Structure 1
Amino acid sequence: MTPFGARLRALRQARGVSLARMAADLGVSPAYLSALEHGRRGRPPFAFVQRVIVYFNVIWDEAEELTRLAELSHPRVVVDTAGLSPEATELANVLARDISRLTRQQAADLLRRVKREIEGR
């Protein structure tokens, strides 16, 4: 599941909207919407994200967050480390090789730590 897919499903379920109803209202197939929610489809187009924002009437920070999550929701990531340090290349390769071995909690902890390091907090 992708971050956008998880949020999309949570919004839909919190508002009591069926997958089939939402798909019809947004003009997409239920299969497409299901694939987005389960992470079998990549990053959704910007126009679709905007339709979701309008559909659920989300505003301000929540709309920004949904857009940000869509940008970070490509399930097949390619990391180009050409020109970076050997450590950056090793990190990318270790993560690619071993990410499936992390528990959900370990992944969340690692993500928080990396964000803190990058943001300088």
Structure 2
Amino acid sequence: MTPFGEKLRELREARGITLKTLAADFGVSAAYLSALEHGHRGKPPWRFVQHTIAYFNIIWDEADELNRLAQLSAPRVIVDTSGLSSRATELANRLAREVKGLEPEDLAAMLAILEERKTKRKTG
């Protein structure tokens, strides 16, 4: 599942909207929406994200968050470590190989480290 797909399912289910109804309202197939929710489709197009924001009447910070989630929803990622240290290359390769076996708390801890670094860069 992708971050955007998870949020889309959450929005749809919270409002009691079926996959079939949402697909008809969006003018896409239910198979496409299902694939998007389950992470079998890549990052959604910008227009789709904007349509989702309008459809669910999402405003301000929540709309920004949905856009952010869409940008982070490519299920196949390429990490270019050329020009970086050997440790950066090792990290990218090990993460690619081992991400499937990580526990939710491990993922949360790694994401927290990245968020902390992002905050430090903004304030520093």
Superposed pair shares fold, TM > 0.5: yes
Shift of 1:104: 1.6
1:72-87 → structure 2 map (5 Å cutoff)? 72-87=72-87
Structure 1 residue runs of 4 or more that deviate by more than 4 Å after TM superposition? none
Q: What's the CA shift string for 1:7-49, capped at 9, x where partnerless?
A: 0000000011000000100111000000000000000000000
The residue aligned with 2:105 is 105
d(CA) in 2 for partners of 1:74 and 1:96?
Answer: 14
Task: Kindly indicate whether residue 65 of structure 2 is the aligned counterpart of residue 34 of structure 1.
Answer: no
d(CA) in 1 for partners of 2:109 and 2:7?
Answer: 19
Q: CA RMSD in A?
A: 1.1
> How many residue pairs were aligned?
121
TM-score by length of structure 2 reads 0.93
Shift of 1:101: 1.0
Q: Give unmatched runs, 5+ long, in structure 2.
A: none
d(CA) in 1 for partners of 2:118 and 2:44?
Answer: 26
Q: What's the CA shift string for 1:85-108, capped at 9, x where partnerless?
A: 111111101111111110122111
d(CA) in 2 for partners of 1:115 and 1:86?
Answer: 23
Q: Give unmatched runs, 5+ long, in structure 1.
A: none
d(CA) in 2 for partners of 1:42 and 1:57?
Answer: 24
Shift of 1:115: 1.9
Task: Kindly indicate whether residue 10 of structure 2 is the aligned counterpart of residue 10 of structure 1.
Answer: yes
TM-score by length of structure 1 reads 0.96
